[in-house]
Amino acid sequence: MSLLLIAKNRDFTSLKEAIQELDPNVDVEVWPRVDKKERVNFAVCWNHPEKVLGNYPNLRAVSSLGAGVNHLLDDESLPNDIPISRLITDSLQSQMGDYVLNAITNYRLHTYRYFDQKRTGEWKPHGNISKTSTPIGIMGLGEMGLHVATLLSQQGYKVNGWSRSKKELNGVSTFAGNDELDAFLNETKVLVNLLPLTEETDGILDLDLFKKLIKPGYLINVGRGSHLVEEDLIYSFDMDYLEGACLDVFEEEPLPKNHTFWNRPQIMVTPHVAAITPAKEAAKVIVENYKRAMSGMELMFEVDREKGY
């Protein structure tokens, strides 16, 4: 029996050590050096090569190395009856909270404008934007969104949240389903995307949606690059629907060197770093789920394949 770590261009040394520290009996292999394909029972994947999972006939379960699982659900080589799980830890939530709060503060205090002005020696104050004139809208009230919504509300922001099913959350106005999407957007100035990537949410961040925000809005995309229709973002700046965006995820990662986003002063780019699971925390969930899979038990953080997240 073996546990296989699969990713392109990733150093798995610390994750492998952390897994073996927790349980020295777990035989950990790192793709592409696999001793015997038949022995692989559990795979942990991130940005894995297409169809690679079809090579392992005795897989009992697969885990994402992150919170998102679209890369696994999209893999046609993974049989439908193999359970999929994801990694959720406390520190993932708190890192996401830090990232979003920081992006909002930078927007309100014009941090990026001042960075630009420093380059040219321009002394030009911009009035700070108050918290009260910055209602935040969080799309997706799951493991990440609920934490971020609560944190922002505790920081004194007016927070709106949108999800598929209705949520009750102290200090947060909640909206649910497509019928309430417009009402949610109409009360939002800074939009934070924390949706999973599914058939329904693919391309959801488009011109039609940006038009409905309190003008000019600001976008923080920490979900997935394919949520955003890239040309609509640029057009929304021209139309004054949006005044800026902080993007952590992209249709193509790494973001190509010649991509227009690099040269737009309105856009802050970070290289998919909003929340990264530390190796030791990842190892705990992986080892627990490996044991569960080997004994036929339900996995922790198991994905609902019907819903797609």
Please report whether residue 10 would count as binding ligand NDP according to CB under 6 A.
no
Q: Is 270 in the site for ligand NDP (CB under 6 A)?
A: no
Active site residue 33: no
Residues with Cβ within 8 Å of 34's Cβ and at least 6 positions away in sequence, in order, are 2, 4, 40
Q: Per-residue x/- mask for ligand OXD, residues 219 to 238, rule CB under 6 A?
A: --------------------
Q: Which of 9, 165, 258, 295 binds ligand NDP (CB under 6 A)?
A: 165
| 3-class DSSP state of 91 | helix
The three-point CA angle 148-238-205 to 5° equals: 35
In the list 198, 206, 216, 235, the residue contacting ligand NDP (rule: CB under 6 A) is: 198
d(CA 69, CA 142): 14
Q: Which of 67, 228, 267, 299 binds ligand OXD (CB under 6 A)?
A: 67
Asked if 272 is an active-site residue, the reply is: yes
d(C-alpha 86, C-alpha 72), whole Å: 10
CB crowding 31-48: b at 16 or more within 10 Å, else e: beebeeeeebbbbbbbeb
Could you tell me how far CA 159 lies from the centroid of its own chain?
19
Selected range binding ligand OXD among 61-69, 201-209, 256-264, 291-299, rule: CB under 6 A? 61-69
Q: How far is the CB of 58 from ligand NDP (least distance, A)?
A: 28
Tell me which of 147, 227, 272, 292 is the catalytic residue.
272
Cβ distance to ligand NDP smaller for residue 12 or 309: 309
Using DSSP, state whether 260 is helix, strand or coil: helix
CA 122 from chain center: how many Å? 36
Q: In Å, what is the CA distance from 160 to each residue of 89, 138, 168, 247? A: 24, 6, 11, 20
* 19, containing H or E segment: helix 13-22
Binding mask 65-104 for ligand NDP (x = CB under 6 A): -xxx------------------------------------
When CB distances are held under 5 to 8 angstroms depending on the partner's kind, the choice from ligand NDP, ligand OXD, none that residue 202 binds is none
Shortest Å, Cβ 196 to ligand OXD:
9
Using CB under 6 A, list all residues that contact ligand NDP.
66-68, 140-145, 162-165, 194-198, 200-201, 222-224, 248-249, 272, 274-275, 309
Enumerate the active-site residues.
224, 272
Binding site for ligand OXD (CB under 6 A): 66-68
